[in-house]
Amino acid sequence: MKNTNLFKATCPHDCPDACSMEVEIDEITKKVMKVSGEKSHPVTKGFLCNKVNNYIDLIYNKDRVLYPKIRVNSKQEKQAKWKRISWEDAIDIISRKLDHTLKEYGPNSILPYSYSGTLGLVGFLGLGEAFFNKLGAIKLLRTICTAAGEEAEALTDGRIGNADIENIPKMDLVLLWGTNTFSTNVHMVPFLEKAKRNGAKIICIDPRVTRTSKFSDIHIQPKPGTDSALALCISKYMFDNNLVDIDFLKKNTIGWEKFLNESIKDFSIEKTSELTGVDKNLIEILAKSYAKTKNSFIRLNWGIQRRLNGGMIVRTIKMLPLLSGSVKGDGGICLSTGGEMRNFNYDGIYRPDLCKNPSRKTVNMIQLGKALASDSEKIKFFYVWNSDPVNCAPNSNLIKKSLLSDEIFTVVHDTFNSDTSNYADILLPADTALERDDFYGAYGNYYYSFSPQVIPKVGESKDNNEVFRILAKKMNFKESCFSMTNIDMIKHLIEKGNNPFLTGKKFSDFEKNSFIKADLNYKDRFGVKSGLWPTKSGKIEIFSEFLKSRNQSPLPIYTEQKLSNKYPLTVLSAATHNFIGASFQHVPRLKKIFSRQTLEISGVDAKKRNINDGDICRVFNNLGETYAYALIVKDLLPGTINVPKQIRSSQLIDESNINSLVSEEVADFGKGPIYYSTFAEVEKHL
């Protein structure tokens, strides 16, 4: 008989699914014996992705940081050398350095940096936000992932009413637009398979050839950045064929007539084919397929909006379910359910009122290199958690160069030695999801879940909030928020966070059930049922006065992306099948499967450059370079290449990943990043 206990937990990683996991724990050793999918969850249904199936190897990994460390060599040396110290000493050093920095340089010299190392609603920012508010430190604009699309949604329909993937099996048509679902949203796949068995047509829109495109019935490959033209053409087709829900538009929107008369009039199938490179017959099939049914579902993912015209692409695609009327049924469009799911009042935890710095500065996280290098910013203290900016942020060469400075005291809190920690003065050990309590709201479905601590902390690791509690105490901060436990914060969000999806719910409900579906039918919910929309006008703003006031097109339009003559290849740096950003890159089995950084290139582009499969190639532009092994992909759109995102640069030839080629320019909306508006040239190296 096994001496084990079973617990339910939630995957914390940056994925839409928020999988429910079943964790088997040895009663005696308190170690994890098995991690598997928890079968009763209606979306994640008892299976895990290939990353999280290896979770034990992440927890008990020989490369984990287990103790606080202090750097004992110069940052100019290639590899950091460390000395183990106590937590007491580490906190003492950090707090003294903070005191000194505040007195000598002021709060605008202190820069916090974090993002989605965990998506737990208390682990994501939590007390870190309160701590740096109390210091009056620089406010970080966390734009690196979704900013352009979020603002585009917010200025259109208020970020509400994203379609529920549980309804996909009912659909006649599913558009997988800019998403490699099989690699980055795998728990949607059974719903797609069921829809297909029920007779639905699946259309993939993506310049790349992926597992998802191979599964789909039709694969449409527009030139990168031309998706708006496709969307406007479909809109025109619907209007031209009287297949638009005019009653819905009249009741719920502002500006639909201007959209008809100004935005779409030039987007014939012929013109759209010229702009996108897509065959006219395919465009007509797409337009007809979408226009003829209201029973459709568009799954739009975040990569598409990480470009100079990314926000406008989202605005134009968002028009389609409004015109067709699919938004009124079980379908519509899903970019992210997070706009509602994660919409809490966090003030009781984040305490924005604690900031007393009247001249507080902001730094856009995608312009980290510029901020660190700036003489005017004079950043002297840099604290990193939940992130590996050396590998994930644009213009990474400038970041590395700046972090070599002894003038910047850097603290990194991470589960592993990251490439950013190689520039740290103090390295603190972070835990994993099974070592802490947290609460999750999925951003690809409508389920909340409580994930309890099920094993003791490994080594001397501490979770994000623990560290900020200890630092706050050391710095004599008296505010009650700094004594809140993770459970206190979870209770606060559920019971006092003012999210109507959880009206009437208590923390005890989640202790009993682990996961609970959001109340999608609560009274007066914004959207179709109430006819109320969380925008300035209270309606869907197809025409936006706000955009007009900041000299942008007030209507969804096609905005052309300028190409580069010197660097003719558009770089897509998509997520890999084996890692989630920087996460899981220390897991031996996944490292072995990934093997090496590859350059996906079309046969046409490879032939022009005399490149063969397996050749080591240099990918470069005016900002930087990276090296990768050529992988000639049949049917990949010529002019487009793919090099995977956020691969640890320390593991690569010349120690530079694809983000060394990405500029710090911002997108048209939200000050978001432009990873996919990167242009490069490729040459054979060896």
Complete DSSP assignment for 602-638: -HHHHHHTT--TT-EEEEE-SS-EEEEEEEE-TTPPT
pLDDT score for 69: 98
Q: Are strands 20-26 and 4-10 parallel, antiparallel or unpaired?
A: antiparallel
Task: Write the pLDDT tens digit of every residue in 421-445.
Answer: 999 999 999 999 999 999 999 999 9
The tokens describing 308, both together, are 């100079």
Q: Which of 110, 161, 160 is nearest to 134 (CA)?
A: 110
Q: Which of 93, 72, 106 is nearest to 380 (CA)?
A: 106
pLDDT higher than threshold 60 for residue 237: yes
- CATH number at 569-684: 2.40.40.20
Buried b (16+ CB within 10 A) or exposed e, 194-222: ebbeeebbbbbbbbbbbebbebbeebbbb
pLDDT score for 561: 80
Please name the residues in contact with 62: beta carbons below 8 A apart, sequence gap of 6 or more: none
Report residue 564's pLDDT band, with 50, 70 and 90 as the boundaries: confident
Name the phi and psi angles at 145, rounded to 5. Answer: -115, -55
Q: Are strands 332-334 and 426-429 parallel, antiparallel or unpaired?
A: unpaired
Task: Write the pLDDT tens digit of every residue in 367-377.
Answer: 999 999 987 77
For residue 469, give the H/E element and its range. helix 464-474
Task: Write the pLDDT tens digit of every residue in 136-157.
Answer: 999 999 999 999 999 999 999 9
Report residue 122's pLDDT band, with 50, 70 and 90 as the boundaries: very high
The CB density around residue 39, as the number of other CB atoms within 10 Å, is 11
Tell me if 115 sits within 8 A of 142, measured CB to CB: yes
The tokens describing 256, both together, are 């639909």
Tell me if 648 sits within 8 A of 582, measured CB to CB: yes
How far apart, in whole angstroms, are the C-alpha atoms of residue 283 and residue 205? Answer: 11
The pLDDT > 70 percentage for the chain reads 100
- Mean of per-residue pLDDT scores for the chain: 96
Task: Write the pLDDT tens digit of every residue in 163-183.
Answer: 999 999 999 999 999 999 999
pLDDT higher than threshold 60 for residue 319: yes
Domain boundaries, the chain: 4-48, 69-145+359-439+464-494, 163-335+531-549, 569-684
Q: Is the pTM of this model over 0.75?
A: yes
In the block, residue with structure tokens 């939590």: 126
Complete DSSP assignment for 119-158: --TTTSSHHHHHHHHHHTPPEEE--TTTHHHHHHHHTTT-
- Fold classification of 69-145+359-439+464-494 (topology level): Rossmann fold (3.40.50)
In sequence order, the β-bridge partners of residue 532 are 527
The CB density around residue 384, as the number of other CB atoms within 10 Å, is 26
- Fold classification of 163-335+531-549 (topology level): Dimethylsulfoxide Reductase; domain 2 (3.40.228)
Could you give the dihedral angle defined by the CA atoms of residues 187, 340, 500 and 44, in that order, rounded to the nearest 10 degrees? 10
